[in-house]
Structure 1
Amino acid sequence: MITYHYEKTIHKKNFLHYSYLSYEKSLSLYAYEQAAFYLKNFVDFYLSNQLIDREILQKIIDLSFLLQNIGKIEESIGYLEKGYEWACKNNRIEEEIEFLLKIGTAYYLLNRPNALPYYQKALETAEKHKIMVKNPYVYTFLGAIYYFQYELEQADYYLNLSMQFIENGSLENTIRTYGIKCWSDVAKASFEEALKSVKEMEKLIPQIQNPVFLAQIYHYCSTYYNAIDFEKALKYAYLSYMHAEKSNSYVFLYSSLCTKGMVLNRMEKSEQALKSFDEGLEISRKYQIFIGEDMYYAQKAFTLILLKRFEEANQLYEDFQKQKKEVHEGFLSFLVFIYVRVAYFLLKERYEEALEKIDEFLNICENKKINIMKPSGLELKIFILNQMQKTDEAGKIKTKLEDLLKEKPELFFLKTEAEHILSLVRESKNSRKPGAFLTQNIKESFQLNNIVQLAQIISNGPETEDLLKIILDKALEMTGAERGILLLFNPKRQEWLYSVRKNFSNPEYFIPESILKDLESHKKGVLLNDLAFSREENKIFSALITPLIFKDNLIGALYLDSSLLKNLFCQEDLEILKVFTSQASLALSHIQSDSPLLEKQEEEKEKDDVYERFNISNREKEIVQMVLKGLSNNEICEKIFISLNTIKNHLKNIFKKTGVKNRIELVRLFQGEKE
């Protein structure tokens, strides 16, 4: 209150004095948010009045540390850049180096590639002025950057440099150096070396009161115990979270939740793990903390595999790929994503692709010496080779795995983990709908009757649009599905046209592109009982999609689903639908060449593109369609019950949006699009 009072008066000296006292008091209580608030008051005054000296530079660095811990990383960069600018102007080389390092750290926390150039520039500046950087800080963060890229030799080089100067560093840097060194050793499966770092960190625990430092120690150590002692790993992850929460250190709240999720997966508590990953990602979005974001998404996808939600896991991978463009091949997350992809391919029995991916996985492990992941990869490769009848090669890989586990028996749990994934794949393949109201024999008889009825209807030669509706209706009857879509495939445009929808409340409902792309590539029906594209407002419990094929050419697809029953469809449904769709495909084969329906849908698609491009409203679209049919303004009035003046105003707006001068040019615009 005293600080607030003096802020509103002309007594700036008292305001600064009490701001600093409040900062020190908040810091002593590890209340980082409050400490940052009061220190900002202090620093802002000196910066705005250009009253900068070495002491104020140090306060800027202290403020950046607080801001980064409470998730205000972008704001910290602004202060650091001002300090760096002053250091450069005043030829303060040591401070210049310090600020380069701190700016690099901020970008490291944001997971941006320009972190490394800042560190390198700091070292180059030091070398140019013949300054020996004895602060281990820079070497630790360089080690961390290379660790997260899984360049483990480079990481070890810088971490060993940091260890040489560890006595010159802060307690926080000592913890970080041991922590990253521990992680690097775990990745190489050098558990004895990792344990040395863990013991050094655990010795520090009784001496530390700062909850941020305790959060760091427990976080680093929990990662080690995740490979050795799951119960202890979970305990340490909770302790890390608790201490981070106490000090509002959002960076370590975020980090601890990832470790917690990974441990819960190891303990087969994947529903809880999923909640942990979602909570961490929410903190990431809220506070713009992106270091390790790739790993969060990869581990979430892996968790979905453990929950037998294969389609959703694969969709998450594809969405993340689109969002991030690519996942760096050195990142551990890249390996986890490959693992997820392999599991998905195994479910779909796409063994060639699974083998290609698992070889990629094992090559990265070998080249980067990531021994911790090898047993899982080798176990999956043995299974894939056996499925492909390559038993001799599978035998050689089995021997290789056995030799590895003899050398490092502590990795056996990873072989078990891979076996568990394979069992989940088998369970998902063999799943059958529970409690069906029809026995299989009755159901098959019912399905065959529908096939016969379709043949009779086709022989009567119905119109194409009627035929499409009949095919979809019969498919719904055969399978007990609640809703359905019949799509036509346009090979010329490589596009799917949504021809008939049944029982959808949302007329704009679309099937994810990844599922349709899979259908184009493999031309096989797929069960989608663990849907990725289900949303709260449109929950789907069961679904399938099957192609319409004529003479090896894809001409369409049937999509069926249910928002009421789980596991409604099984493999037998796909088999019986093959017979049904072969009849339907024969009847629809003419659509590929000369169907007026397909031409009509193409025209509508082209028109829709124009409407979207010129931001034409629904009412304006309605009027344009009537103009294209040759209706006059008076005739349009009668059709849609609005005044002549309103029609004229709408046309005026349409002409303005499209850049045409009259009705004739408007018609030409749409016909031109077609041509």
Structure 2
Amino acid sequence: MEIDRLSRNNKIQKTIITIFIFILIGFDTVFQPALGQDEIQRLRREINQSKKDTNRVWIYRDLAYYYLEENLDSALYFSELGIQLSKELGFIKGEIWNLYQMALAEEFMDRFEPSISTLKQAFDLAEAQHDTLSMAKLQNALGVNLYYQSNFSEAMSNYQEALFLSEKIGYQEGISYSLNNLGVIYRKRRNFKKALEIYERSLVIKIQENDTVGIINSRYNLGLLYSYSNKFEKSLEEFSQAERLSETKGKSPNMAEIKIGRGMALYNLEHLDEAEKYFTEGFGQLKADKIYEKIAAMAYLGIIEVRSGNPEEGMKKLLNANEMLENSERLELKRLVSREMARAYEILNQPVRAVEYWKSYNILNDSINNEQKHWAIEEMQAKYEALEKDKRIQMQELALSKEKLKKKRNTIILSLLFILTLASFFIYLNRWRKNNKPKDLIQILNGKSIDFEKVNQNLLSPITNREKEIIELVEKGFTNHEIAEKLFVSENTVKTHLKNIFSKTEALNRTDLVHRLKNY
């Protein structure tokens, strides 16, 4: 009867819990240092002192970033100012990163389609600039957007492209971030082996880079993975390391989640008191948007209280957790709550209700297994398609290679034929010239001989003895090469002498030279 009464008053209980959560959030907000507000005030003062240049673009970008936690409309406003100023200045880099901040604000508003459109616009600019670093970051952001819409296949495709780009330029932070994102999807698809391989690779990079926050996140992800794999000792170890690192650093963005994760491992290892402590601390520190983490913590706290002899308070939490999940598609969390509800009713000796929730648990379990099989088939299909694509690419490359080889071979054959033809022509020409060379130009010029004394009387610059020798050989029809051999000089020397002779006599060619000299 008591349990039925609790069910009827469930809405009131939910309202009480919600008020309690908001009180916790408000308390946390009041006593947290207002670092974001301080930065906003500083940046707004800087705008008043800055010129309309690239520095102001970055101030707009930074204001948009800090306003993400304060006021999303303001984040949109300042990112838009940054975009407009970047366009005026032709500052592409500034435009890219103000577009990125605008996309984040749109994403936080659950306006996923405009956010994706904005990110693609930024990506196109980065691609046009061959800015691989920005392309890798934007590809990851696109993947996150798609992931929040449960479009895991497209998200994975973007993460893989981001990983490829990051590896291409050795961008270690981008590699690790892409790996973590891929690991989350593999974990959600319950491909724990692949997720473990990816998380461990990411952790190695974070350790090499001495990135404490990154190491904490990787340890947290590994802790969750081991928990889902029912390896609770390893899960506890990873969460404990993440917690110690967080305490060393002084603050971690996901400290509350780490505590809840550690509580899960402790609960499953039957350390109920210690688990309750971590669930309570984590629940109180969670941010307002961490709904599912709150539900998980509430469910575990509920079953611990039922098992510890406080069924009334415990069932309140379990019933609230169950109702908050009513319209959710988080099958694993619904399965967890159904299991703990069934156990609670068993402890309360209500077998009918226990059986009801065990049935629900089994149905959810089957759904999860079927979903897992579907994802496994989808993954196999994707691998097959990737192999087929690689095969097609290899065949195309082979065909192109053969075509290039064929063209190269044809080019070589044609070149050889051309060279042979040219060589044959010159051999024929040389033979023809030898066979048809006049032995003595005197025959052409009516048998007259050259009178060099008379010639020199008519020239401003007389013919030298060496030039006379060359003229006599030219008269007999010898080539420059043959003249050089006879006179034991170089062919260039012969050419120089001929040039001087032509200059002195004003002859146009060899025949004209002989003709002029004979007619002086």
TM-score with structure 1 length normalisation? 0.41
- Following superposition of structure 1 onto structure 2, how do residues 131-530 of structure 1 map, counting pairs within 5 Å? 135-141=135-141, 143-144=143-144, 152-167=152-167, 171-226=172-227, 227=229, 229-284=231-286, 288=287, 290=289, 292-306=290-304, 308-309=306-307, 312-320=313-321, 327-330=327-330, 332-344=332-344, 347-350=350-353, 353-354=356-357, 357-369=360-372
Q: Partner residue of 1:650? A: none
Give the aligned residue type for 2:328. Answer: H
1:575-633 Cα deviation digits (max 9, x unpaired) = xxxxxxxxxxxxxxxxxxxxxxxxxxxxxxxxxxxxxxxxxxxxxxxxxxxxxxxxxxx
CA distance, structure 2, for counterparts of residue 181 and residue 364 of structure 1: 23
Q: Is it true that 1:122 corresponds to 2:125 in the alignment?
A: no
Residues 202 and 217, structure 1, Cα contact 8 Å, conserved in 2: yes
Deviation for aligned residue 1:170: 6.1
- Following superposition of structure 1 onto structure 2, how do residues 1-40 of structure 1 map, counting pairs within 5 Å? 39-40=39-40
Residues 97 and 122, structure 1, Cα contact 8 Å, conserved in 2: no
CA distance, structure 1, for counterparts of residue 109 and residue 371 of structure 2: 20
Residues 314 and 340, structure 1, Cα contact 8 Å, conserved in 2: no
Deviation for aligned residue 1:85: 1.9
> 1:74 is matched with which residue: 65, 69, 74?
69
Deviation for aligned residue 1:164: 2.4
- Alpha-carbon distance change, 204 to 223 in structure 1, aligned in 2, over 3 angstroms: same
Q: Which SS does the other structure have where 1:90 is aligned? A: helix
Which has the higher Rg, Structure 1 or Structure 2?
A: 2
CA distance, structure 2, for counterparts of residue 343 and residue 244 of structure 1: 34
Give the aligned residue type for 2:292. Answer: D
CA distance, structure 2, for counterparts of residue 318 and residue 174 of structure 1: 42
Give the aligned residue type for 1:261. Answer: G
Deviation for aligned residue 1:365: 0.9
Give the aligned residue type for 1:357. Answer: S
Q: Which SS does the other structure have where 2:201 is aligned? A: helix
Structure 2 runs not aligned, ≥5 long = 1-31, 376-520
1:451-477 Cα deviation digits (max 9, x unpaired) = xxxxxxxxxxxxxxxxxxxxxxxxxxx
Deviation for aligned residue 1:114: 0.9
- Alpha-carbon distance change, 362 to 316 in structure 1, aligned in 2, over 3 angstroms: same
**Structure (1 or 2) with the greater strand fraction:** 1
Structure 1 runs not aligned, ≥5 long = 1-31, 373-675
- Alpha-carbon distance change, 146 to 58 in structure 1, aligned in 2, over 3 angstroms: same
CA distance, structure 2, for counterparts of residue 81 and residue 219 of structure 1: 32
Give the aligned residue type for 2:84. Answer: K
Deviation for aligned residue 1:301: 0.4
Residues 298 and 318, structure 2, Cα contact 8 Å, conserved in 1: no
Residues 63 and 78, structure 2, Cα contact 8 Å, conserved in 1: no
Q: Partner residue of 1:486? A: none
Deviation for aligned residue 1:86: 0.7
**Structure (1 or 2) with the greater helix fraction:** 2
- Alpha-carbon distance change, 131 to 280 in structure 1, aligned in 2, over 3 angstroms: same
Deviation for aligned residue 1:214: 2.7
CA distance, structure 2, for counterparts of residue 260 and residue 106 of structure 1: 32
Residues 217 and 242, structure 2, Cα contact 8 Å, conserved in 1: yes
- Alpha-carbon distance change, 247 to 123 in structure 1, aligned in 2, over 3 angstroms: same
Q: Partner residue of 2:43? A: 43
State the Cα RMSD in Å: 4.3
Deviation for aligned residue 1:278: 2.2
- Alpha-carbon distance change, 138 to 341 in structure 1, aligned in 2, over 3 angstroms: farther
1:312-371 Cα deviation digits (max 9, x unpaired) = 45422443566x685521464334333334445654423663365235413541453289
Q: Which SS does the other structure have where 2:328 is aligned? A: coil
Residues 241 and 252, structure 1, Cα contact 8 Å, conserved in 2: no
Give the aligned residue type for 2:184. Answer: W
Deviation for aligned residue 1:76: 7.1
Residues 162 and 174, structure 2, Cα contact 8 Å, conserved in 1: no
1:19-53 Cα deviation digits (max 9, x unpaired) = xxxxxxxxxxxxx9798687545422233457464
Residues 152 and 368, structure 1, Cα contact 8 Å, conserved in 2: no
- Alpha-carbon distance change, 33 to 215 in structure 1, aligned in 2, over 3 angstroms: farther
Q: Is it true that 1:98 corresponds to 2:81 in the alignment?
A: no
TM-score with structure 2 length normalisation? 0.51
Q: Which SS does the other structure have where 1:369 is aligned? A: helix
CA distance, structure 2, for counterparts of residue 333 and residue 48 of structure 1: 50
Deviation for aligned residue 1:135: 3.1
Give the aligned residue type for 1:350. Answer: R
Deviates more, 1:125-134 or 1:168-177: 125-134
Give the aligned residue type for 1:340. Answer: E
- Alpha-carbon distance change, 239 to 103 in structure 1, aligned in 2, over 3 angstroms: farther
Give the aligned residue type for 1:334. Answer: K
Give the aligned residue type for 1:98. Answer: W
Q: Which SS does the other structure have where 1:165 is aligned? A: helix
Deviation for aligned residue 1:104: 5.3
Give the aligned residue type for 2:338. Answer: I
Residues 338 and 358, structure 2, Cα contact 8 Å, conserved in 1: no
Residues 259 and 281, structure 2, Cα contact 8 Å, conserved in 1: yes
Residues 143 and 159, structure 1, Cα contact 8 Å, conserved in 2: yes
Q: Partner residue of 2:78? A: 83
Deviation for aligned residue 1:179: 2.1
CA distance, structure 1, for counterparts of residue 367 and residue 119 of structure 2: 30
CA distance, structure 1, for counterparts of residue 328 and residue 232 of structure 2: 29
- Alpha-carbon distance change, 84 to 147 in structure 1, aligned in 2, over 3 angstroms: closer
1:634-654 Cα deviation digits (max 9, x unpaired) = xxxxxxxxxxxxxxxxxxxxx
CA distance, structure 2, for counterparts of residue 36 and residue 74 of structure 1: 8
- Alpha-carbon distance change, 332 to 358 in structure 1, aligned in 2, over 3 angstroms: closer
Q: Which SS does the other structure have where 1:329 is aligned? A: coil
CA distance, structure 2, for counterparts of residue 277 and residue 343 of structure 1: 19
CA distance, structure 2, for counterparts of residue 54 and residue 162 of structure 1: 27
Q: Which SS does the other structure have where 1:328 is aligned? A: coil
Q: Partner residue of 2:438? A: none
Deviation for aligned residue 1:127: 7.3
CA distance, structure 2, for counterparts of residue 142 and residue 345 of structure 1: 45
- Alpha-carbon distance change, 121 to 345 in structure 1, aligned in 2, over 3 angstroms: farther
1:506-563 Cα deviation digits (max 9, x unpaired) = xxxxxxxxxxxxxxxxxxxxxxxxxxxxxxxxxxxxxxxxxxxxxxxxxxxxxxxxxx
- Alpha-carbon distance change, 123 to 234 in structure 1, aligned in 2, over 3 angstroms: same
